[in-house]
Amino acid sequence: MSKATKYVSKAADENGFIHWTDEENSIWQALITRQLPLMVGRACDEFILGLEKLNLPTDRVPQLAEVNEVLLATTGWQCEQVPALIGFEKFFSLLSQKKFPVATFIRSKEEFDYLQEPDIFHELFGHCAMLTNPAFANFTQAYGEIGLAASKEDRVFLARLYWFTVEFGLMKTKDGLRIYGGGILSSPGETKYALEEGNAQRRFLTNEEQVIDVLRTPYRIDIMQPIYFMIEKMSDLDAIRNLDLMSLVAQAKALGLHEPKFPPKEKIAS
């Protein structure tokens, strides 16, 4: 979260309104109209229901106030405008207050298919629909509370739990495998990749032993994931947040990390 970025969040005016350019609105339109058809039969029911509640515009970037009206009415959450990158302390603090950090910039055409920084499309489309669901919203708030109290070293372990649930979580339902993680839901490539057989390992995440497994699993942010973790129902997140997660972090630290399922990232020569 502390690395440099070329993107700068747009400031709101005195009324909280962000003035997006025609090009920025067209990028949003292209992103959302590409992604919406992919959700059918792939996204979990809770996400689809959340999207219906949000009723995001397809022709322009939404205003945060529009999204907040729905989030406040459903789970008491709201979006909080932040700079393009924020530190862990601020991140955990906002989540603990039921405030979801949203960087108010949208990717450039040059990085239309992938960018490492989470932009407003990733945050609003990928995450906010799920934040209308009480189990998901409560899990996210509890994660913020735990992370805020954790040490810097423990936060590195906790980040893996967030990554494999909120960002890249899958759900094994009676109708088949579905997606609830925002990192997948906002990516056309990974939306297809995550559900195709043979692309990646899939492990369950429904008990203490499996949470320890998650905490020990390395990941990279710039590749398709070689491992996904599956819950069976959204209330599984309630069960996970009610565990003694810091005790499980201690056990994961004692056991050490699993061997990565991916090659190390190549360093760019200076």
Give the model confidence (pLDDT) of 77-121 as tens digits. Answer: 999 999 988 999 999 999 999 999 999 999 999 888 888 889 999
Supply the pLDDT for residue 103: 95
Active-site residue, from 24, 96, 123, 127 = 127
User: What pLDDT band is residue 2 in, cutting at 50, 70 and 90?
Assistant: very low
Average pLDDT score over residue span 18-44 = 97
Active-site residue, from 122, 123, 187, 190 = 122
State yes or no: is 93 an active-site residue.
Answer: no
What's the whole-model pTM score?
0.94
User: What pLDDT band is residue 1 in, cutting at 50, 70 and 90?
Assistant: very low
Active-site residue, from 24, 46, 123, 167 = 167
State yes or no: is 19 an active-site residue.
Answer: no
Q: To the nearest whole number, what is the mean pLDDT of the chain?
A: 95
User: What pLDDT band is residue 217 in, cutting at 50, 70 and 90?
Assistant: very high
State yes or no: is 186 an active-site residue.
Answer: yes
Supply the pLDDT for residue 265: 81
Supply the pLDDT for residue 98: 98
Determine the Cα–Cα distance for residues 146 and 158; give it in Å rounded to an integer.
9
Average pLDDT score over residue span 27-56 = 98
Determine the Cα–Cα distance for residues 198 and 178; give it in Å rounded to an integer.
16
Active-site residue, from 24, 96, 123, 186 = 186
State yes or no: is 187 an active-site residue.
Answer: no
Average pLDDT score over residue span 253-259 = 97
